[in-house]
Amino acid sequence: MGGKSGIEWTDSSWNPVTGCTKVSAGCAFCYAERLAKRLQMMNPTGKYRNGFKLTLHEKDIELPLSWKEPRTIFVNSMSDLFHEQVPFSFIKRVFDTMEKADWHTFQILTKRPERMQYFTNEYYGEVLPNVWLGTSIEDSKVLHRLAILKKVDAAIRFVSFEPLLGSVGKVNLRGIHWAIVGGESGKYHRPIKKEWIHEIRRQCRKYNVAFFFKQWGGLTSKSGGRTLDGRIYDEYPEVKENLLEVKI
């Protein structure tokens, strides 16, 4: 799980932790859980021998240091780094690796932003310029995660509205630098509506937030394609001379 990623907004994945537990509606048909169980069946004694049970992988903590070419790396695509069962001492070692591997850009998503906030602001106490910190929001019921994320000390804060399961309304994106939107995929995928996406895009324009439309979703992640209103939205935040810009 360290090669090229199939996720459109990143290059690679790095999983020093695998496995997770469900916390909200967006977790119901988790792609990582499905994939972990499939990998367990393919290799019962391999990295995913525990299936989707939360597991720490000591041997993978320094893996990005061996990748010499700069890349964008999604941290824990198969877990949540800020899960309650992951000790802060372990998370610190992950952050230490990201600090050392400063030629890479790291992206961390969590559904537990309160732990992220405490760790970054109180425990670790340092902002790494190459680390982007974000939270996942699937509908208005979990918008409290956004308020917490805004308090996180980070070079770039981002929100993944995926799988988008409902309207989030006129969400205030002040203090956020990047928004990813996507529909659910898989056998039991739930529908996404264009008006929900438009709401988020309008707020991105209002607050100068980079907007990335990942997918419509469907039976597979590629089923509905990535075109929104006749175009592909592949915008990224970019930091130049300490000033945040939107890269389109």
Q: What's the whole-model pTM score?
A: 0.94
Which amino acid is located at 119 in the chain? F
d(Cα 141, Cα 149) in Å, to the nearest integer? 15
Q: pLDDT-based confidence at 238, cuts 50/70/90?
A: confident
CA nearest to 18, candidates 55, 70, 45, 51: 55
Average pLDDT, the chain: 95
- Tell me the residue ranges of DSSP E strands in the chain: 12-14, 17-18, 55-56, 72-75, 105-110, 131-136, 156-161, 178-182, 210-215, 227-228, 231-232, 236-240, 243-247
Q: How confident is the model at residue 2, as a pLDDT?
A: 52
Quick one: average pLDDT of 2-28? 93
**What are the E-state strand segments in 48-204?**
55-56, 72-75, 105-110, 131-136, 156-161, 178-182
Q: Where are the domains of the chain?
A: 12-60+68-247
Please report which confidence band the pLDDT of residue 180 belongs to, taking 50, 70 and 90 as the band edges: very high
What's residue 247's pLDDT? 52
Query: Is CATH 2.40.128 the classification given to domain 12-60+68-247?
Result: no
Assess whether pLDDT exceeds 50 at residue 241.
no
**What is the predicted pLDDT for the residue at 4?**
76
